[in-house]
Structure 1
Amino acid sequence: MLDATLKTQLQGYLHNLRAPIRLIATLDGSEKSAELRELLAEISSLSDKVSVDESGTDSRTPSFVIAREGETHGVRFAAIPLGHEFTSLVLALLWTGGHPPKVAPDVIDAIKALDESMDFDVYMSLSCHNCPDVVQAATLMAVFNPKIRTVIIDGGMYPSEVEARQVMAVPMVFRNDSMFTSGHMTVEELVAKLDVNSAGREAKKLNQKSAYDMLIVGGGPAGAAAAVYAARKGIRVGVAAERFGGQVNDTMAIENYISVLETDGPTFAAALEAQVRHYEVDIMNLQRAERIVPAATPGGLVEVHMQNGGVLKARSVIVSTGARWRNVNVPGEAEYKNKGVAYCPHCDGPLFKGKRVAVIGGGNSGVEAAIDLAGIVQHVTLVEFADALKADAVLVNKLKSLANVTIHVNAQTTEITGDGQKVNGLGYKDRATGAEHHVALEGVFVQIGLVPNTEFLKGTLELSKYGEIVVDAKCHTSLPGVFAAGDVTTVPYKQIVVAAGEGSKAALSAFDYLIRQPVLADVAKQEEVAEAA
């Protein structure tokens, strides 16, 4: 089951086990049980600290628990965790066996402090690149808190359970049999969602931080590049990010970043963060900006107010908050989000195997999604507002060659319909004739581009009619001391390499601004005079 390379890697990892562990399996005579039995046997053959026990009696068959020797509590995999989840399996083995996780000590302390007994069921698919972070977060909680039980469930192996619970997007987490959250989430986010007092504590920490020379708001490629360039100048740099890596975390394959032949989004995002941390930049994750207050005097401190109530101050600020998926904004979209309405075909496509779906959008992302889905689902209906598909010709030709795809151009999506529980159709209008149509289906994938994350800036600095931050050739905004870079700006071509270049440029421009400002002592005197007046 594991090739020679994976076996060698796994054997190396298992040398880090500090205590013996048992793999307690619940198996039957099915093909999937045979596959799982083979996997567990291979794992145990690679370390004398791992044993297999087939005495499990769990209701989900096949499945297995990773437990410390002499115990039965641990994370359960109702899955054969290969593909994207192989790393999750390795980490679960190591953490259970006493190898310390690469997680901040305060996060582990927060997990241990959770005092409520909780059962988590995490639904994932092996093709989902967003799922491992959630799987690993829930695994960590079960390993370090005996009051928490975690089960990782491959939706493809338990279709009747997926159907009964209306799981139409992954990752999806149930807590104590009620839907708790869905979509990408780090362990810090999961713990913060469970710990109602975390926001206040975090705000207090932010308020105690001294002013930065340069504060970067946003941690995608633009923000990461800005942080590296700024830190190399020897100045005090901070990054406040809602999710380090930004939208890159949701990207399946990256094959056009110069010098990197091929990688995936989560791997690329992790590399960005590692390089920024190498320069000892102060990274503040899970931080969403609420507003920016300009400096009171030239060269003074700009304030960035965060949603949790904290306030950060800096002599210069770079906004690199990126963009997010654009909603189609028709009746039914919000009501049926994660109940048939999805935005990631790579993550959620396998949940619609053998079903009928629609893709809204005829650009590259929409056509690529339709091509991918056509290999999984029964039928794909692509709906495009313009009178022709906007994707590259090679993609359009490929799409048109597929027998289970129907294309409607010059078609305006008017509604997404459902039965109150899940999607059952899509309505569209022929823009040429005005005729209304309805397509019966089970899923809708929205792929119509991006919208910049600038709501918190309205009324503060100049935005374009599309909500992008207006910048000049050197990334200056309309506010002195405030710069911007990446997908959030008016710079064309929303590409990772473009964002990284713009982030570097913004940092150089901000540094140039800093060295031309009065020294801090003079600025302080100016502010004292202004306050007295």
Structure 2
Amino acid sequence: MLDDTLKSQLQTYLAMLRQPIRLIATLDNSETGTEMRSLLETIVSLSDKVGLDTTGTDSRKPSFVVARDGETTGVRFAGLPLGHEFTSLVLALLWTGGHPPKVEQDVLEAIKALDGDFNFEVYMSLSCHNCPDVVQALSLMAIFNPKVKTVVIEGGAFQQEVNDREIMAVPMVFLNGQVFGSGRMNVEEIVAKLDTNASAREASKLDAKEPFDVLIVGGGPAGAAAAVYAARKGIRVGVAAERFGGQTNDTMAIENYISVLETDGPKFAAALEAQVRHYNVDIMNLQIATKVIPAAEPGDLIEVQMENGGRLKARTVLLSTGARWRNVNVPGEQQYKNKGVAYCPHCDGPLFKGKRTAVIGGGNSGVEAAIDLAGLVEHVTVIEFAEQLKADAVLVNKLHSLPNVTVHTNAQTTEITGDGSKVNGISFKDRATGFEHHIDLAGVFVQIGLIPNTEFLKGTIELSKFGEIVIDAKGHTNQPGVFAAGDCTTVPYKQIVIAAGEGSKAALSAFDYLIRTPIAA
């Protein structure tokens, strides 16, 4: 089940247990049940602080609970927590065994203060790189608050359950039997949804902060690079970000960042945040900017208003709000979002195993998505608006070599159809002949590029016709003291390495502005 390297690593982690724990298993004779027994026996063999009880009676088989010794409740894993979720299993073992989690103390206190009955079920797939954040957040909550119950369900092992609940996107979270949320969420977001007073408290904390020399709005590669470069100047730097790492959190493979041969997005995002924290930058996560109030005169403070009502002040502001996936904007897309319409093939692809799917978009993202899906699903149809695929030649050649892929170029998607509860097909028009086509399928993956996150700047900061922040060669916007960098700007080629360089440049420009601009009285 685990190779020697993983066993050695796991044994090292289990040595950190501070108190005994028990694995309470409900097994069956299925292949997954046999593999689960083997996994649990391996874990027990690596630490004298872990015991195994196979007399569990849970309705989901196979499953097991990670519990403190002498207790019967804890985090339950239904199916095998391997792949991306192996880390989630290790952390559940450590936290249950008394090893402290690496989260802020105020987050732990907020978890412990939650009052009510919270029964969470989170569905995940082993190839989903967004799922571990949600699984680990809900596991942490169950371990530190006895009123929270968490079951982690591997969709592949409980396919009938997934079909019955019409789950077509992961991670999917149910609370007390009702849909709570889908997609990537961290523990702060989940707690904030449960704690109705959290928003007001957070706004007060923001209002009380002293003005920053440089306030960076956005925590992707551009914002992270800007924070490092600004902090190294010895000035007061803050980062207000919806989620640190930005789009890189949703990127599976990164193979073109210079000096890093290969990594994945979540690892890259974690490394960005670690380096920024190394310089004692004030990182404010879960913050969405809604307004920038420019300085009345050069040297006056600039204000940034947040969605929770709080305001941050700074001598300079650097906007690096990035971009998000563009919608195709046809009938059926919003109606069937997460019901067959998906945007992440790595996360949701396994849910369409053996089914027919389509990918809208023929750029690198679209072709890579089609190649990945072709190894899982019955058939993939690629629909590209342009007269030819725009992806790199090596990807196009790979795509054309696959026997279960059909490509339609010069094709305009006109509708995503469904039966009222889930997707059942897609319609598109041949732009050359005007002929309409319809294909029966179960899933549609939208991969048609990005749209900048700049709506909140309209009327304040100059934007291009595409919604990008207009900047000059040094990252200046049209407002004194306001700079911008990355995918939200007019700089061409939206790439991680370019965003990082632009963020560094904009930070240096902001510092130059600071030393040349006297502070207003």
Residue of structure 2 in register with 1:488 after alignment: 488
Partner residue in 2 for 1:255: 255
After TM superposition, the structure 1 = structure 2 runs for residues 357-506 of structure 1, keeping only pairs within 5 Å, are 357-506=357-506
1:143 aligns to what SS in structure 2?
helix
Please report how far the alpha carbon of residue 93 of structure 1 lies from its aligned counterpart in structure 2 after TM superposition: 0.1
Q: CA deviation at 1:433?
A: 1.3
Displacement of 1:4 in angstroms is 1.1
Q: Tell me the distance in 2 between the aligned counterparts of 1:391 and 1:500.
A: 23
* CA distance in 2 between partners of 1:367 and 1:433 (Å): 24
Query: Which amino acid in the other structure matches residue 412 of structure 1?
Result: Q
C-alpha displacement at 1:394, in angstroms? 1.8
Deviation for aligned residue 1:201:
0.6
More displaced 10-residue stretch of structure 1: 259-268 or 344-353: 259-268
User: Counterparts of 1:112-123 in structure 2 under 5 Å?
Assistant: 112-123=112-123
Q: Distance in 1 between matches of 2:7 and 2:397?
A: 41
Distance 1:35 1:387 in 2: 49
Deviation by residue 1:132-165 (Cα, 9 ceiling, x = unmatched): 0000001001101111110000001110000011
Shift of the alpha carbon at 1:366? 0.5
Q: CA deviation at 1:315?
A: 0.3
Q: Which residue is equivalent to 2:15?
A: 15
Give the distance between the partners of 2:394 and 2:215, measured in 1 at CA.
Answer: 43
What CA distance in whole angstroms lies between the structure 1 residues aligned with 2:271 and 2:394?
32
Q: Name stretches of at least 5 consecutive residues in structure 1 with no aligned partner.
A: 525-533
**1:270-310 residue CA offsets vs partner (Å, 9 max, x unmatched):** 11111111110000000000010110111110110111100
- 1:132-151 aligned within 5 A: 132-151=132-151
Q: What is the TM-score when the length of structure 1 is the normalising length?
A: 0.97
Partner in structure 1 of residue 514 of structure 2 = 514
Q: Give the 3-state SS of the residue equivalent to 1:426 in structure 2.
A: strand
Which structure 2 residues correspond to residues 76-95 of structure 1 after superposition, within 5 A? 76-95=76-95
Equivalent residue, structure 2, for 1:267? 267
Whether 1:309 and 2:309 are equivalent positions in the alignment is yes
Matched residue type, 1:313: K
Q: Report the Cα offset of residue 228 of structure 1.
A: 0.5
**Distance across 1 between alignment mates of 2:88 and 2:78:** 13
Report the number of matched residues. 521
Please list, as runs of the form range in 1=range in 2, the aligned pairs for 1:132-211 lying within 5 A after superposition.
132-211=132-211
The superposition leaves residues 82-140 of structure 1 with CA deviations (integer Å, 9 ceiling, x where unpaired) of 11111100000000011110011111111111111011110000101111000000100
Q: Aligned partners of 2:253, 2:398: CA distance in 1, in Å?
A: 19
Contact map agreement 2:32 2:79 (CA 8 A) in 1: no
Rounded to whole Å, the distance in 1 between the matches of 2:516 and 2:505 is 17
* Structure 2: 5+ residue stretches without partners: none
Q: Distance in 1 between matches of 2:398 and 2:253?
A: 19
Partner of 1:35: helix, strand, or coil? Answer: helix
SS in structure 2 of the partner of residue 181 of structure 1: strand
- Three-state SS of the structure 2 residue aligned to 1:316 is strand
Q: CA deviation at 1:399?
A: 1.1
Counterpart in the other structure of 1:323: 323
Aligned-residue sequence identity (percent) comes to: 77
Q: Structure 1 counterpart of 2:296, which letter? A: A
User: 1-side partners of 2:452 and 2:174: how far apart?
Assistant: 31
After superposition, what is the alpha-carbon deviation per residue over 1:55-99, rounded to whole angstroms, capped at 9, x for unaligned? 011111110000001100100000211111111000000000111
Q: Aligned partners of 2:169, 2:59: CA distance in 1, in Å?
A: 23
C-alpha separation in 2, matches of 1:98 and 1:516:
52
The residue number in structure 1 matching 2:68 is: 68
C-alpha distance in 2 between matches for 1:371 and 1:265? 19
CA distance in 2 between partners of 1:209 and 1:61 (Å): 51
- For residue 15 of structure 1, report the CA deviation from its aligned partner: 1.0
Residue 213 of structure 1 aligns to a residue whose secondary structure is strand
Following the alignment from structure 1 to structure 2, what is the Cα–Cα distance between the partners of residues 333 and 442? 13
| In 1, Cα distance between equivalents of 2:248 and 2:177 | 32
Normalising by structure 2, we get a TM-score of 0.99
Q: 1:59, 1:377 → 2: CA distance?
A: 30
Alpha-carbon displacement from aligned partner over 1:294-338 (angstroms, at most 9, x marks no partner): 101111101101111001000000000000000001111111110
Q: Name the CA distance, whole Å, in 2 between partners of 1:48 and 1:91.
A: 18
Q: For the Cα contact (< 8 Å) 2:429–2:437, is it kept in 1?
A: yes
**Contact 2:68 / 2:97 at 8 angstroms: preserved in 1?**
yes
Distance across 2 between alignment mates of 1:444 and 1:245: 26
> Which amino acid is the alignment partner of residue 169 of structure 2?
A
Aligned to 1:9, the other structure's residue is in SS state helix
Moved over 4 A (4+): none
1:236 aligns with 2:259: no
The separation in 2 between residues aligned to 1:420 and 1:177, in whole angstroms, is: 21
Amino acid at match of 2:167: V
The aligned amino acid for 2:139 is T
1:448-469 superposed Cα distances (whole Å, 9 cap, x missing partner): 0000000000111111111101
1:340 partnered with 2:340: yes
Deviation at 1:185, TM superposition (A): 0.6
User: Contact (CA 8 Å) 2:215, 2:239: kept in 1 or not?
Assistant: yes
Looking at structure 1, the residues matched to 438 and 316 of structure 2 have their Cα atoms a distance apart, in angstroms, of 53
CA RMSD across the alignment = 0.7
- 1:391 CA drift (Å): 1.1
Amino acid at match of 1:203: A
Moved more, 245-254 or 390-399: 390-399
